[in-house]
């Protein structure tokens, strides 16, 4: 996979580059600020980009804005945004109606290599990856009550919102695939959502229900 | 509007007028007549106020022995006193152009409604306002009478020549009497009338100034003794705010020391051990590295949560509304957040609001034994109104260290924090933070 990285901290930029190269990916360019990053993306048209939210010159949401530009201008490129803090509000801006090919994770998640690479694969393949912390925030801010759901169903709902597949949900909860499907059907029935079999449509429905995207 | 703006002279910048024009203008000036109307309406307002406050105060005092039913009645009376004083200040502003600042309210932190009422009952400010409400009637009556005399006397004197001229023509045999028949007497009356008429605006003004002086003393910002008390209160509040900030710095230092710093030390030790074992015992080294990996991730979480509790970047970036989500997700007790904040407050106000919610949620997690909590934030005019509610066991002590620290922060920006936490719960913390200026 061809990747462009935008990260202003040299330490992390080098670390990420090394980590992705060791996993067999090709980091075609790295950038330390937004404009430079967008030029690199235009030049290389990579499969995916990894972007830090906080970058110079403003050190606020520079990276997020660059990520939004990439999503608008090159819809085919997977965008994975990393941050020291994740915020439901940024996630909502990032998803904005189209939770395809986008991810938003805490930087810590890079420490769990397999999970991080899996998320990157999902994003590059048009799927989504939302940090569990973002999902927890979305649940706290949801305008709809989730009172009807059992604790297990809440867990499944959270994992769905993170963008996980049935198999991944089954593995995470140590239950069978059939049980996962049963829970999902029950959740959709209880929340009054139209049934959706494809992973992407399902994420869309869930995120929309939670008030994001 | 100037503080002593009862002037009746021509406005600055008006073209120079003749001596006659200068003398007559105050008589027809809108300000003079507003002052007249102000003085004439006084007794009518006074009669209503007198009836209400005498009844309310009497009822309150009479009901005091009856299981303290009188206290809420007196509380309402105090509240009405304050509203009446505000109404009167507004009337002075509109009619006389005098802006009177309100007396400072009691801003003591974390005080219950009962205690505040009790304090207000004994306060000089309330006493003065109550006195004003009762005084309005007699004062108004005297002013009413004087204004009538001041204006009707010159008009009557001026009317005498007209009457002397008119009467014999209306009724052929009318007796004009010794005064109306005397031309010199009529001229003298007319001259005196004119003189008094030209003086009437000055006399009206004098009455208004007296009224303002009385009102300023009774419902105004208060005497220098009050100011001294207010300054003392501000000094204490400032000391508490400085103390609270200092305590928080120490807490952050301690959290860093006990948390992330210790973890990094232990992480470095683990990696050192793993390095030493690497060649002889690869399996053992691997186990230690696993442990170190977990430790490093824990340190990250602790650092992030620490910053989350102090001032997260999103607070400056996207405001209080967006920042509250992170606090809610961090809390081990499920929290729902509702925010209606169409405009952002000043950064300092947002930071204090955030700090209060963060501390309140921490307290709930530690002490309340709650199953759920709710945070709501809304903008009410110039005030940021925040409510933090839980379904826990209650019994939170407003004078305890945590809550009094919060109250100190809130009073530091002239805000108000109240805690309702009966034993058995639920606990409700309400915070009002002024956003103006």
Q: What's the CA gap between B434 and B234, in Å, rounded?
A: 16
My answer on whether A61 and A98 are in the same domain is: yes
My answer on whether B412 and B266 are in the same domain is: no
My answer on whether B306 and B319 are in the same domain is: no
Size of interface A-B (CB pairs under 8 A): 61
pLDDT tens by residue, A110-163: 989 999 999 999 999 999 999 999 998 988 887 676 778 888 998 999 999 998
My answer on whether A194 and A130 are in the same domain is: no
pLDDT tens by residue, B109-159: 555 666 666 777 777 778 888 888 888 899 989 999 998 988 888 888 888
Nearest residue of A to residue B314, measured between CA atoms: A87
My answer on whether B113 and B215 are in the same domain is: yes
Task: Give A111's contacts in chain B (Cβ within 8 Å).
Answer: 293, 296-297, 300
SS3 category, B309: helix
My answer on whether B156 and B252 are in the same domain is: no
The total of structural domains in chain A comes to 2
- Considering only CB atoms, B304 lies closest to which of A54, A84, A136, namely A84
Task: Give B315's contacts in chain A (Cβ within 8 Å).
Answer: none
Are A85 and B329 in contact (CB < 8 Å)?
Answer: no
My answer on whether A72 and A105 are in the same domain is: yes
Task: From A111, A135, A159, give the residue that closes a domain.
Answer: A135
The total of structural domains in chain B comes to 3
My answer on whether A150 and A87 are in the same domain is: no
Q: Is position B197 within any domain? A: yes
Q: What is the pLDDT of residue A213?
A: 59
ipTM above 0.90, yes or no: no
- DSSP 8-state assignment for residue B423: T
My answer on whether A126 and A85 are in the same domain is: yes
- Considering only CB atoms, B337 lies closest to which of A107, A112, A141, namely A141
Instruction: Give the length of chain B.
Output: 437
More confident residue, A212 or B51: B51
Task: From B281, B310, B339, give the residue that closes a domain.
Answer: B310
My answer on whether B290 and B395 are in the same domain is: no
Interfacial residues of B (vs A; Cβ cutoff 8 Å): 293, 296-297, 300-301, 304, 307-308, 312-314, 316-318, 321-323, 325-326, 328-329, 334-337
Q: What is the CATH number of the domain that holds B255?
A: 1.20.5
Q: What is the pLDDT of residue B245?
A: 83
pLDDT tens by residue, A6-26: 999 999 999 999 999 999 999
My answer on whether B102 and B41 are in the same domain is: yes
My answer on whether A101 and A15 are in the same domain is: yes
Nearest residue of A to residue B292, measured between CA atoms: A111
Q: What is the pLDDT of residue B10?
A: 44
Q: State the burial class of residue B409 (Cβ atoms within 10 Å of its Cβ: 0-12, 13-18, 19+).
A: buried
Task: From A135, A154, A173, give the residue that closes a domain.
Answer: A135
Q: What's the CA gap between A85 and B326, in Å, rounded?
A: 9
Q: Is position B230 within any domain? A: no
My answer on whether A21 and A117 are in the same domain is: yes
Q: What's the CA gap between B261 and B267, in Å, rounded?
A: 10
8 Å CB contact between A80 and A51: yes
My answer on whether B180 and B285 are in the same domain is: no
Other CB atoms within a 10 A radius of the CB of residue A184 amount to 22
Q: What is the pLDDT of residue B352?
A: 92
Q: Is position B328 within any domain? A: yes
Q: What is the pLDDT of residue B6?
A: 45
Task: Give A138's contacts in chain B (Cβ within 8 Å).
Answer: 325
Q: What is the pLDDT of residue B70?
A: 76
Task: Give B297's contacts in chain A (Cβ within 8 Å).
Answer: 108, 111-112
Q: What is the pLDDT of residue B95?
A: 85
My answer on whether A108 and A22 are in the same domain is: yes
Mean pLDDT (chain A) is 89
SS3 per-residue string spanning B313-358: HHHHHHCHHHHHHHHHHHCCCCEEEEEECCCCCCHHHHHHHHHHHH
Q: What is the pLDDT of residue B107?
A: 52
SS3 per-residue string spanning A171-211: HHHCCCHHHHHHHHHHHHHHHCCCCCCCHHHHHHHHHHHHC
Are A87 and B314 in contact (CB < 8 Å)?
Answer: yes
pLDDT tens by residue, A56-67: 888 888 999 999
Q: Is residue A97 very low, low, confident or very high in pLDDT (cuts 50, 70, 90)?
A: low
Parent domain of A96: 2-135
My answer on whether B61 and B144 are in the same domain is: yes
Q: Is position B163 within any domain? A: yes
Task: From B258, B276, B310, give the residue that closes a domain.
Answer: B310
Q: What is the pLDDT of residue B178?
A: 63
Residue A118 corresponds to which tokens in the numbers above?
A: 């899996």
Task: Give B314's contacts in chain A (Cβ within 8 Å).
Answer: 85, 87, 89-90
Task: Give B323's contacts in chain A (Cβ within 8 Å).
Answer: 87
Q: Is residue A101 very low, low, confident or very high in pLDDT (cuts 50, 70, 90)?
A: very high
Q: What's the CA gap between A12 and A45, in Å, rounded?
A: 23
pTM (two decimals): 0.64
Question: Which strand (E) or helix (H) includes residue B374?
Answer: strand B373-380
My answer on whether B278 and B397 are in the same domain is: no
Q: Is position B142 within any domain? A: yes
β pairing state of B335-340 and A2-6: unpaired
- For tokens 């309702």, the residue is B420
Q: What is the CATH number of the domain that holds A48?
A: 3.40.50.2300
- Considering only CB atoms, B318 lies closest to which of A89, A133, A140, namely A89
Are A87 and B326 in contact (CB < 8 Å)?
Answer: yes
My answer on whether B41 and B144 are in the same domain is: yes
Are B329 and A60 in contact (CB < 8 Å)?
Answer: no
Q: Is position B4 within any domain? A: no
Q: Is position B232 within any domain? A: no
My answer on whether A194 and A165 are in the same domain is: yes
- For tokens 């867990």, the residue is A155
My answer on whether A126 and A163 are in the same domain is: no
Task: Give B336's contacts in chain A (Cβ within 8 Å).
Answer: 140-141
Give me the sheet containing A128-130, strands edge to edge: A26-31, A2-6, A48-52, A78-83, A102-106, A128-130
Q: What is the CATH number of the domain that holds A181?
A: 1.10.10.10
Task: Give B313's contacts in chain A (Cβ within 8 Å).
Answer: 54, 60, 85
Task: From B185, B219, B253, give the residue that closes a domain.
Answer: B219
Task: From A97, A112, A135, give the residue that closes a domain.
Answer: A135
Q: What is the pLDDT of residue A71?
A: 93
My answer on whether A112 and A159 are in the same domain is: no
Parent domain of B49: 19-219
Ranked by mean pLDDT, the top range of A37-46, A183-192, B64-73, B299-308 is: A37-46
Nearest residue of B to residue A109, measured between CA atoms: B297
**Interior angle at CA A130, CA A124 and CA A133, nearest 5:** 155
Interfacial residues of A (vs B; Cβ cutoff 8 Å): 54, 60-61, 84-85, 87-90, 106-108, 111-112, 133, 136-141
More confident residue, B399 or A177: A177
My answer on whether B409 and B381 are in the same domain is: yes
The parts of chain B modelled with pLDDT lower than 50 are 1-14, 437
My answer on whether B172 and B200 are in the same domain is: yes
DSSP letter for each residue of B88-105: HHHHHHHHH----PPPPP
Q: What's the CA gap between B241 and B235, in Å, rounded?
A: 10
My answer on whether A80 and A99 are in the same domain is: yes
Are B313 and A60 in contact (CB < 8 Å)?
Answer: yes
Percent of chain A with pLDDT over 90: 58
Measured CA distances, A118 to A80, A115, B184 (Å): 12, 5, 115
């Amino acid at each position: 996979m061809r990747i462009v990285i935008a990260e202003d901290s040299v330490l992390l930029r080098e670390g990420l580059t090394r980590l992705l190269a060791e996993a067999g990916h090709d980091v075609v360019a790295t950038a330390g600020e937004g404009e430079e990053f967008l030029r690199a993306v235009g030049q290389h048209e990579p499969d995916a980009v990894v972007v830090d939210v906080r970058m110079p010159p403003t050190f606020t949401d520079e990276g997020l804005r660059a990520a939004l530009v990439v999503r608008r201008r090159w819809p085919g490129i997977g965008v994975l945004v990393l941050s020291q803090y994740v915020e439901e509000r940024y996630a909502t801006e990032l998803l904005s109606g189209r939770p395809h090919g986008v991810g938003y994770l805490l930087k810590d998640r890079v420490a769990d290599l397999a999970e991080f690479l899996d998320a990157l694969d999902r994003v590059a393949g048009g799927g989504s990856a939302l940090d569990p912390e973002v999902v927890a925030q979305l649940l706290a801010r949801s305008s709809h009550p989730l009172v009807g759901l059992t604790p297990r169903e809440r867990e499944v709902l959270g994992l769905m919102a993170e963008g996980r597949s049935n198999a991944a949900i089954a593995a995470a909860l140590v239950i069978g695939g059939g049980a996962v499907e049963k829970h999902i059907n029950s959740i959709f029935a209880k929340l009054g959502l139209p049934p959706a079999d494809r992973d992407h449509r399902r994420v869309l429905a869930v995120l929309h229900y939670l008030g994001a995207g | 509007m100037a503080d002593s703006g009862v002037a009746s002279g021509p406005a600055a910048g008006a073209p120079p007028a003749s001596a006659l024009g200068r003398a007559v203008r105050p008589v027809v000036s809108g300000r003079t007549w507003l002052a007249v109307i102000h003085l004439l309406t006084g007794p009518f307002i006074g009669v209503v106020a007198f009836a209400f406050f005498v009844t309310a105060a009497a009822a309150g005092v009479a009901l005091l022995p009856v299981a303290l039913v009188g206290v809420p009645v007196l509380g309402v009376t105090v509240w009405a006193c304050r509203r009446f004083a505000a109404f009167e200040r507004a009337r002075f502003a509109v009619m006389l152009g005098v802006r009177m600042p309100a007396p400072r309210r009691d801003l003591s932190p974390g005080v219950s409604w009962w205690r505040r009422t009790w304090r207000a009952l004994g306060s000089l400010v309330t006493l003065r306002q109550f006195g004003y409400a009762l005084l309005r009637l007699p004062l108004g009556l005297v002013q009413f009478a004087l204004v009538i005399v001041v204006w009707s006397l010159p008009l009557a004197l001026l009317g005498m020549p007209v009457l002397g001229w008119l009467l014999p023509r209306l009724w052929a045999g009318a007796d004009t009497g010794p005064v109306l028949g005397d031309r010199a007497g009529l001229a003298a009356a007319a001259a005196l009338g004119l003189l008094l008429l030209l003086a009437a605006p000055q006399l009206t003004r004098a009455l208004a100034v007296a009224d303002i002086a009385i009102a300023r003393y009774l419902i105004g910002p208060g005497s220098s003794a009050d100011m001294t008390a207010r300054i003392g209160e501000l000094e204490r509040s400032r000391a508490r705010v400085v103390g609270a900030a200092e305590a928080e710095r120490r807490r952050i230092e301690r959290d860093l020391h006990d948390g992330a710093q210790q973890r990094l030390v232990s992480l470095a030790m683990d990696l050192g051990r793993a390095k030493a074992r690497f060649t002889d015992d690869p399996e053992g080294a691997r186990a230690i590295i696993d442990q170190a990996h977990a430790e490093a991730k824990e340190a990250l979480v602790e650092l992030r949560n620490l910053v989350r509790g102090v001032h997260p970047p999103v607070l400056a970036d996207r405001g209080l509304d967006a920042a509250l989500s992170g606090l809610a997700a961090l809390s081990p007790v499920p929290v729902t957040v509702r925010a209606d904040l169409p405009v952002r407050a000043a950064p300092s106000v947002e930071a204090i609001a955030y700090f209060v919610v963060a501390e309140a949620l921490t307290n709930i997690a530690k002490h309340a034994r709650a199953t759920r909590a709710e945070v709501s934030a809304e903008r009410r005019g110039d005030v940021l109104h925040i409510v933090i509610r839980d379904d826990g066991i209650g019994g939170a002590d407003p004078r305890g260290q945590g809550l009094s620290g919060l109250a100190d922060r809130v009073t530091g920006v002239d805000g108000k924090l109240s805690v309702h936490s009966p034993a058995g719960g639920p606990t409700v913390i309400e915070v009002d933070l002024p956003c103006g200026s």
